[in-house]
Amino acid sequence: METYATYAEMRQKIGELFQQEQYTQAAEILEWGLTQFPANVLANAYNLAACQALLGQAEKAAASLLYGLDHGIWYGQWDFTGDLWNPLKTLGIFQQVISRSMECQHEAQKNSRPELSIAPPARYDPAMKYPLFIALHGGDETAADFKERWTSPRMASDFIVAYPQSSRPVSMRGFSWLGEDQDRQEILAAYQTVLKEYSVDTGQVLMGGFSAGGHLTLTLLLDEQQILPIRGFIVLCPPVPEAYSLEAITRIRSRGQKGLLLTSEMDNRLEDQRKLAKAFEEGGVAHRFVVTPNEGHWYPPDLAQRIDEAIDDILS
C-alpha cells in the first residue's frame, strides 16, 4: 500500500478515491492513517466508517466510529442523518456511538460561551458613524471559518462587521443557531457590545448569514418584536422558519426591510425557499431571489459580488 508523508497528501488521495468509488482502497489507506495521523482521528475514523458502510460492512463501520470515541473524539448531531448510515442504526455498538457522543456534546455545552469577532472598516475613524453588518455562521461552523467565507470589498471598506459565534456546540468542528430565545439574547448582547466599542449608524444595520445563520436572520425578521433595528438582510441557503403568517410578512414590508434571498439549484430546501420568496412578493417585501445553478448547499463562487450588489440595493 502507498504511504503518505503528510495528512494533506493522504486526504487528497482519499478524495480522488471517493470520486472514483474505490472504497476498498480508500478504507485501507484510512485505516493506516488512524495511527499515522492521530491529530486527524475524527476525519479518518468517520471517513473510514463511511467507506465500510458503502461496502456493506456495517459492523466494521460501527467499530471504526467507536475507535474514534475511544481515542478522544465525538461525533456531531447531524453526522449520521444520511441514508448511508441506516444499516448501522439497528446495531447495539452504533447506539453506543450515539449515546457517548451525546454525552460528550452535553459536556462541551457546559463550558461553552458565545464569542464575538469584530472587523472594523479598513480606515476606521471613531469620529464617523459606520453601517454595521451582523454576519451569522452556519450550522457546524465557527465564526473564524465563516469570517473567511462571508466578506466582500464593500464590507471590508465601509462596514463594521460583527461575527458572533453561537455558544451551542453541535460537533467538535463547530456551533449552530436554532432560532431560539438563547440565540436572540446572544445576538442582542453581541450588538450591544459593538455599540459600546464602535461608532455605529443604527439606521444602517444589516444582518445575514449562511444556512442556520440565515434561518436565525429570517426568524428575527419575522418576530413581532424587533430586538435589533434591522434595515436589510442577506441570507444564503437558509432553512425557512416553519411557520410564518401574512401578518408577519406585512410587518417586514411596513418596516421597510428588504434584502437578498440567495440559494442554490441543488439545495435541498429550495422549494421552501421558493415559497418564502413568493410570500415576500405577495406581501410586498422588496427583495431579490437568486438561485445559483450547479451548486449545492454551500457558498457560491460569486458570493462577494452578490453581497455588494445586495448592499447597494438595501442602502439605496
Q: For position 243, which CATH number holds? A: 3.40.50.1820
Same domain as 37, residue 121: no
Same domain as 148, residue 238: yes
Predicted local distance difference test score (pLDDT) of residue 72: 96
Asked whether residue 310 is assigned to any structural domain, the reply reads yes
Asked whether residue 99 is assigned to any structural domain, the reply reads yes
Asked whether residue 61 is assigned to any structural domain, the reply reads yes
Same domain as 307, residue 188: yes
Measure the CA–CA gap between 196 and 115, rounded to whole angstroms: 16
Residues 6+ apart with CB under 8 A from 142: 165, 173, 174, 175
Nearest partner of 58 among 21, 103, 95, 100, judged by Cα = 95
DSSP state letter for 132: E
Alpha-carbon 31 to chain mean position? 29
Same domain as 68, residue 28: yes
Predicted local distance difference test score (pLDDT) of residue 243: 84
Same domain as 136, residue 42: no
Same domain as 264, residue 166: yes
Predicted local distance difference test score (pLDDT) of residue 2: 81
Nearest partner of 175 among 133, 134, 116, 230, judged by Cα = 116
* Domain region containing 104: 7-110
Asked whether residue 273 is assigned to any structural domain, the reply reads yes
Predicted local distance difference test score (pLDDT) of residue 213: 98
Predicted local distance difference test score (pLDDT) of residue 296: 95
Asked which of 80, 110, 140 is the last residue of a domain, the reply is: 110
Grid coordinates representing 14 are: 482519499
DSSP state letter for 23: H
Give average pLDDT by consecutive 10-residue segment, the chain, 316 residues.
91 96 97 96 97 98 98 96 95 97 97 97 97 98 97 98 98 96 98 98 98 98 97 98 93 97 97 98 97 96 98 96
Instruction: Identify whether the C-beta of residue 120 lies closer than 8 Å to the C-beta of residue 176.
Output: no
Task: Let me know how long the chain is.
Answer: 316
Nearest partner of 314 among 190, 131, 145, judged by Cα = 131
Q: For position 75, which CATH number holds? A: 1.25.40.10
Nearest partner of 116 among 211, 201, 170, 187, judged by Cα = 187
Q: Give the angle 284-257-217 at the CA atoms, nearest 5°.
A: 110
Asked whether residue 2 is assigned to any structural domain, the reply reads no
What is the residue whose three cell numbers read 461496502?
55
Asked whether residue 1 is assigned to any structural domain, the reply reads no
Same domain as 198, residue 90: no
Question: What is the number of other CB atoms lying within 10 angstroms of the CB of residue 119?
Answer: 17
Asked which of 48, 82, 110 is the last residue of a domain, the reply is: 110
Distances (CA, A) of 190 to 135, 178, 185: 11, 17, 9
Distances (CA, A) of 194 to 161, 202, 209: 9, 11, 18
E strands along the chain, which residues?
115-119, 130-136, 160-165, 200-210, 230-236, 258-264, 287-292
Grid coordinates representing 34 are: 488512524
Measure the CA–CA gap between 144 and 164, rounded to whole angstroms: 10
Total tally of structural domains belonging to the chain: 2
Distances (CA, A) of 177 to 19, 250, 276: 32, 25, 20
